Structure 1
């Protein structure tokens, strides 16, 4: 499948972000990543999207300099991790999908030790640790052993650990896993703030509905290859499916048919219809037309997010 890149000609953009070009990695006879391209610019949140087994985690491990590619190149802020490993790692923050904590240590002790690993000035470690604990809402549990933390609290500690040295590139593998709804909203806000500070933020997640609110763009991968790169605006402009319910479903269906629109009936707790609209202006006009025609609209909204729509379309093409 051809690569569709948001950069003209697929050219690397020199910025403080992270780029992979033609990277491959095999494990024995299994080729997990096959000439994959990826770019996450500074100051933006980039989503990494694909089904299980698509090569996302292998790519993240290579981007984090924890796994060397068999082929291809990776640059972090213009630096090669092979030649400049120490400097590259000082610029990277890595949050894996499982924390792997020292269970007998407290949250404060874990962050303090991580700060020492990154060789932060000794005088600044204590205030930095305190700031990170407050940022992820763990100040009240700072001196509790990590083993007593819930899954969501461990996720927040993992984020603080990734941020302790103020990296310019942040790699997050399923960061919302185990978080309650309130914590997910906080995570969303935090990631947008980090991007606003100029960091390149990469998020791999299966929760596609949330990525629309977080990401500025996305890289879609499958079978170890990059299949599409696009901005969130480009995804939204490509059209998405809207779900509509009305007080009188028959009247709604009749009016849509009169307007010559292709739709499908949706059964469930709130029966309605769904149809693909190409942009928000088209959605606005359709809603106006339905109301003016006297159809009692009860709900009118996108059925899925823009990035989720792209993902489903790619899955349909693959099949």
Structure 2
């Protein structure tokens, strides 16, 4: 990563892909998009490899949705290049759209159509034979647990049910690339788990999955890597493994918090004062490496401190996100 100033970070464009994986995933190089005088995306770089789930993380107004719309072929960039499954969404729009499953954060719908009709209509739009389209619709309705509502009009669905129908709609043509904008919004806990299992399975099948979400704790369990954006630019990109290795804040819970605090004080381990991060009966410490965290837990147990748990104080993505200087406004 290169930096032009502390508050204006940029990363080098994606390196060449010697294995040709770019032909199955997404590559964005130096993309810019403006709306009148507003710069929504400013020389952004991104890679979404096949076989992985990539998180797109950034605050409101950082350019995430604008980028997603360009990847889906619904907006054209002012400059820079985009390839989706090897196709440019502007110059080869039919090939790019055939490869993409796009799920916006709000399901646009024909309210009089049933859930089944929504899916068969989209199957027809992708020129899937009618019988195959009906079978695919039934399969996907079962996948997203909407079979009981298959012949109900879409207008009666709850917010979470509409999200599940939107996901099924994005999958109707079995795309190589999935673009999901806030897919878990409105989902109940069981449906969130089902979504995570489904997306991991699709990635295991070789699909490239890009997920934009503000719920970073869920992305920790889902994503293989993350791209962080701010003010229209890419400011960081890491694998989840790299982020986990950089975890520094750990939350300790003991049956006797006072005993724990006394032990830490006697052994020169400072407690971090951060009341927004933990409950009063939890103890927050900062450690340089995961190995140091393992050694601390070993010593606590050896000395008879009744430990209940030790874990990162927040998810890996959240720690990286909160540590970005570009987000300190």
TM-score (structure 1 length as normaliser): 0.94
Deviation of the 1:214 alpha carbon: 0.4
Contact 1:33 1:58 in 2 (8 A): yes
Say which SS state the counterpart of residue 264 (structure 1) adopts: coil
Deviation of the 1:309 alpha carbon: 0.7
Q: How does 1:57-96 map to 2 (within 5 A)?
A: 57-96=65-104
Instruction: Output the CA distance in 1 between the equivalents of 2:126 and 2:205.
Output: 21
Q: Tell me the equivalent position of 1:221.
A: 229
Q: Tell me the equivalent position of 2:321.
A: 311
Give structure 1 stretches of 5+ with no counterpart: none
Q: Tell me the equivalent position of 2:265.
A: 257
Say which SS state the counterpart of residue 324 (structure 2) adopts: helix
Establish whether residue 290 from structure 1 lines up as the match of residue 294 from structure 2. no
Q: Tell me the equivalent position of 1:169.
A: 177
Instruction: Output the CA distance in 1 between the equivalents of 2:113 and 2:62.
Output: 35
Alignment RMSD (CA, Å): 1.7
Q: Tell me the equivalent position of 1:208.
A: 216
Instruction: Output the CA distance in 2 between the equivalents of 1:116 and 1:31.
Output: 37
Contact 1:236 1:279 in 2 (8 A): no
Instruction: Output the CA distance in 2 between the equivalents of 1:162 and 1:317.
Output: 32
Instruction: Output the CA distance in 1 between the equivalents of 2:104 and 2:248.
Output: 32
TM-score (structure 2 length as normaliser): 0.91
Q: Tell me the equivalent position of 1:272.
A: 282
Moved more, 303-312 or 280-289: 280-289
Say which SS state the counterpart of residue 58 (structure 1) adopts: helix
Establish whether residue 121 from structure 1 lines up as the match of residue 125 from structure 2. no
Establish whether residue 197 from structure 1 lines up as the match of residue 197 from structure 2. no
Instruction: Output the CA distance in 2 between the equivalents of 1:144 and 1:132.
Output: 15
Contact 2:249 2:285 in 1 (8 A): yes
Instruction: Output the CA distance in 2 between the equivalents of 1:299 and 1:265.
Output: 19
Moved more, 260-269 or 87-96: 260-269
CA pair 316-244 structure 1, distance change in 2 beyond 3 A: farther
Deviation of the 1:123 alpha carbon: 3.1
Say which SS state the counterpart of residue 295 (structure 2) adopts: helix
Contact 1:245 1:297 in 2 (8 A): yes
Instruction: Output the CA distance in 2 between the equivalents of 1:11 and 1:123.
Output: 44
Establish whether residue 180 from structure 1 lines up as the match of residue 184 from structure 2. no
Deviation of the 1:266 alpha carbon: 5.6
Instruction: Output the CA distance in 2 between the equivalents of 1:60 and 1:79.
Output: 15
Establish whether residue 10 from structure 1 lines up as the match of residue 43 from structure 2. no
- CA offsets 1:110-135 (integer angstroms, 9 cap, x no match): 00000011111233111111111111
- Between Structure 1 and Structure 2, how many residues are aligned? 316
CA pair 199-174 structure 1, distance change in 2 beyond 3 A: same
Instruction: Output the CA distance in 2 between the equivalents of 1:284 and 1:53.
Output: 39
Instruction: Output the CA distance in 2 between the equivalents of 1:266 and 1:313.
Output: 15
Instruction: Output the CA distance in 1 between the equivalents of 2:219 and 2:270.
Output: 28
Instruction: Output the CA distance in 1 between the equivalents of 2:134 and 2:311.
Output: 48
Give structure 2 stretches of 5+ with no counterpart: 4-8
Moved more, 231-240 or 216-225: 231-240
- CA offsets 1:213-240 (integer angstroms, 9 cap, x no match): 1000000000100000000000001123
Instruction: Output the CA distance in 2 between the equivalents of 1:138 and 1:132.
Output: 8
Q: Tell me the equivalent position of 1:31.
A: 39
Instruction: Output the CA distance in 1 between the equivalents of 2:47 and 2:40.
Output: 19
Say which SS state the counterpart of residue 46 (structure 2) adopts: strand
Say which SS state the counterpart of residue 42 (structure 1) adopts: coil
Moved more, 163-172 or 271-280: 271-280
Say which SS state the counterpart of residue 32 (structure 2) adopts: strand
